[in-house]
A and B are shown apart, each in its own frame.
Chain A
């Protein structure tokens, strides 16, 4: 009954009429809201269709091309010559494997450097650990800027500065990771138990000692788990960072897509998906081990 306005006088007079009046009022309001939102939605969709240059005749003329594209990426495979066909499909397997290895290294180094950076920034960016609000403010804003700019934009800037190759890729991922993990880390810090901080401080510890002996032991498992999760994300990012010339398999993938080497496209994409899946599964196992099944983030 608590959904309806309780008015004891009306209910005493005629409960059915009161109910119907309240119901009609709610229904009217709801209908009005529905119409309003539908109109808003239609307007946004119409504007988007116009700005996004979506035209039905273009879609219809492109549709067969799309299916042909997918069809062309499927390699020719005959049962009697399956092995040779497969070998021909993956004709540059050693080269692609080496590039994929580069991609994993870019992700690994980027994650490591970013995690170390985030580790040092996150303590001054936790509200419960710093008294000076300016330090907190600047650290927070710095991390926000670091994580809001996409990796690919950093990569373009670093490619200009350091030249083509994996180095700018590592740096781009490191900067972005630093901002993303710094935020998560400082949120973990803000949830630590105050008692241990007070205990360590009562025994005369200064700020770095308090962090080392009261906070770090509490937060380390969560930090590691977040870092592993980030590594999974960064492997995906590293596989496309080559699109702007920052090393790894992305550069090769862009080349074969631009040159319409259809079967190579499917070969490389499948390799990327397999790598990402293997890393996801092994990282998940590791994370289970680090923080136990029940608290998995």
Chain B
């Protein structure tokens, strides 16, 4: 095929525009629609900005000056001799995430079986249980933390419970979906060899879903490490407590040190858990 090279004349360009007017010229109806849409969006955003105080320019300017001051105080990050305390708080955070995820996984396992359509085929039961999972998932772990702090008192135990309860709903839903996606053939095979219901679950369903469960739990451990870092802000122990204390008394260099510590830990946990998850999935296939 030969390559043609040509330059369009001005007339030819006009002719093209006239021929394909749908592309180059908007119809008046489209124009009005567009103006109305953008005008409406503009007014809505103007109202939102006004309501949240973006038009208080003096306050914003003042805030920006304060923010630059804060950034200046944050550099360089320093632990001022509290390194051991920070590291222990970080360990506490990791322990909270680990135990929270562990408890949630243990609780979610039977709930997942109960919520799976192919295990309990009753529609009402299935629907009701799934709505309960949704309800638990709808409440943020920080709200659970605040509630548990007022029940069991300050400390990491409240954080563990908050993570456990909040994630039970999510993991139960994921487990139920994994169980619904198992292959029928293996179950039929086990049943054909004379297994009862429990044995079918153990040898027909469980080996199929175990890698999925493990990798989901690991993934949630990863994400819980992130959420556990802030649970301390409402009094549930760990590094968040240290961080909010430092910010409250304006120790900005220590605060930025803690933030760096959080970033490094989250990065390490992410990498480690991703590595393990890839291995689990590979082994399963």
On A, residues with C-beta under 8 Å from B are: 44-45, 47-49, 51-54, 58, 62, 65-66, 69, 102, 105-106, 108-109, 112, 145, 148-150, 152-153, 156-158, 160-163, 165-167, 169-170, 236-237, 239-240, 243-244, 247, 253-254, 257-258, 260, 265, 269, 272-273, 276-277
Contacts and interface: CB of A to CB of B under 8 A. Distances in A.
Of the candidates A53, A236, A272, the one having the most CB atoms from chain B within 10 angstroms of its own CB is: A53
B152 A65 contact: yes
A102 B143 contact: no
Contacts of A152: 142, 230, 233
18 contacts: A52-B92, A52-B99, A52-B160, A54-B99, A65-B151, A66-B151, A69-B147, A102-B51, A145-B263, A148-B263, A149-B263, A150-B227, A152-B230, A157-B67, A162-B59, A165-B52, A273-B139, A276-B138
B52 A105 contact: yes
Sorted nearest first, the 5 A-B pairs with minimum C-beta distance are A162-B63, A48-B95, A273-B138, A51-B95, A161-B67
Main secondary structure, interface of B, reads helix
Nearest to B256: A157
Interface in B48-80: 48-49, 51-54, 59-60, 63-64, 66-67, 70
Contacts of A102: 51-52
A277 B230 CA distance: 24
Contacts of B94: 48
B244 interface: yes
A170 B156 CA distance: 29
B190 interface: no
Given A52-B160, A257-B146, A170 B59 contact: no
B47 to A, nearest CB: 9
Nearest to B134: A277
The size class of the interface chain B forms with chain A is 35 or more
A109 B52 contact: yes
A157 B52 contact: no
B40 to A, nearest CB: 14
B70 A160 contact: yes
A113 to B, nearest CB: 10
A47 B139 CA distance: 29
A157 B45 contact: no
Contacts of B250: 160
Contact of A149 (B54, B151, B259): B259
Nearest to A55: B157
A150 B88 CA distance: 20
A150 B229 contact: yes
Contacts of B146: 243, 253-254, 257-258
A272 B142 contact: no
Nearest to A259: B150
B91 A156 contact: no
Contacts of B92: 51-52
Contacts of B54: 167, 170
A134 to B, nearest CB: 21
A109 B147 CA distance: 29
A269 B140 CA distance: 10
B138 A148 contact: no
Given A152-B142, A258-B150, 20 more contacts: A48-B95, A51-B92, A52-B92, A62-B151, A109-B52, A148-B262, A148-B263, A148-B267, A152-B233, A161-B63, A161-B67, A162-B59, A167-B63, A240-B140, A243-B142, A243-B234, A253-B146, A254-B146, A272-B143, A273-B138
